């Protein structure tokens, strides 16, 4: 029985302390978390404890949840909001964890009005106003350029001001046109390179739509900041301003060589 899926409910959703060994093991498992300084790690832990008290985890596909799973997902999910605060994940509570990739039923209507139903195999999905679905197998696979947890939680940030479109809710002193000024050229350049068949270091899936480019860019902003900065410096600065973090300055992050394939 997971402490964070049982005790939090019984005790009125009061944050429970994450055991120190579990926290150290979690940080050691993911280098992008281990790169944080001691003060950031302490604040991340406190934020995770509040996150675990507020959100409701449930297992699907016969997955038995435990503290290791819940804390690993919480730590990755809370990294993007380390400076934004937990209110950035407001208005929803559910996190459904599958053991592996899972199938979601889809239906589309073609131009002739015929409805086509199909199965979509996913590693994660964020529902507007609803739960977030995650494959634990993929969450464990988090690396410099792949992080399904950060990806899906970036979608939740994007949805905070409506349907996901690549434009998250901005502070009052930001204008949408300022966001698009730096975001759009990077997105269009990346799409052009994918369409041309170039071997990009960033997941080509980012070219599917602006919202996917935002989510994938967020993955690599935290996991491979040196590569994102070398390829799209204006986009890197935009995300650094939005997240109020500069991963390039963290130990072991800024000097990694990384196979940068293109630059603008």
Task: Write out pLDDT tens, residues 84-97.
Answer: 999 999 999 999 99
Selection from 199, 9, 217 nearest residue 208 by Cα: 217
The pLDDT tens digits for 26-59 are 999 999 999 999 999 999 999 999 999 999 999 9
CB 219 within 8 A of CB 145: yes
pLDDT above 90 (res 68): yes
Selection from 22, 9, 13, 94 nearest residue 57 by Cα: 94
The total number of residues shown for the chain amounts to 264
Give the pLDDT of residue 124.
81
Domains of the chain: 1-160 (1.10.472.150), 165-264 (3.40.390.10)
d(CA 247, CA 99): 30
The helix/strand/coil state of 142 is: coil
d(CA 92, CA 77): 14
**Can you tell me which residue has the tokens 């690599």?**
220
Tell me the whole-structure pTM to 2 decimals: 0.87
Structure tokens at 223: 């996991």
Q: Where residue 3 falls among pLDDT bands split at 50, 70, 90?
A: low
Q: For the residues 102-121, what does the mean pLDDT come to?
A: 60
Report the run of H or E that residue 46 belongs to, with start and end.
helix 38-54
Q: Where residue 259 falls among pLDDT bands split at 50, 70, 90?
A: very low
């Amino acid at each position: 029985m997971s402490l964070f899926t049982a005790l939090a409910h019984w005790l009125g959703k009061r944050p429970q302390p994450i055991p120190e060994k579990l926290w150290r093991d979690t940080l050691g498992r993911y280098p992008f978390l281990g790169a944080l300084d001691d003060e950031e790690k302490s604040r991340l832990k406190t934020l995770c404890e509040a996150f675990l008290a507020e959100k409701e985890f449930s297992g699907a596909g016969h997955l038995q949840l435990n503290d290791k799973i819940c804390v690993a997902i919480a730590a990755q999910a809370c990294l993007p909001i380390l400076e934004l605060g937990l209110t950035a994940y407001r208005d929803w509570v559910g996190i459904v964890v599958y053991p592996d990739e899972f199938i979601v039923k889809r239906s589309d209507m073609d131009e002739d009005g015929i409805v086509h139903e199909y199965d979509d195999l996913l590693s994660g999905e964020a529902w507007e106003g609803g739960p977030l679905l995650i494959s634990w197998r993929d969450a464990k696979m988090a690396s410099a350029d792949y992080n399904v947890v950060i990806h899906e939680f970036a979608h939740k940030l994007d949805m905070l001001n409506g349907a996901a479109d690549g434009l998250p809710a901005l502070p009052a002193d930001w204008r949408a046109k300022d966001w698009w000024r730096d975001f759009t050229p990077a997105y269009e350049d990346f799409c052009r390179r994918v369409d041309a068949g170039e071997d990009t270091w960033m997941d080509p899936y980012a070219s599917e739509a602006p919202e996917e480019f935002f989510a994938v860019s967020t993955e690599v902003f935290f996991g491979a900041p040196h590569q994102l900065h070398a390829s799209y410096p204006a986009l890197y600065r935009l995300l650094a301003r939005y997240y109020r973090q500069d991963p390039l300055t963290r130990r072991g992050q800024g000097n990694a060589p990384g196979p940068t394939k293109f630059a603008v």
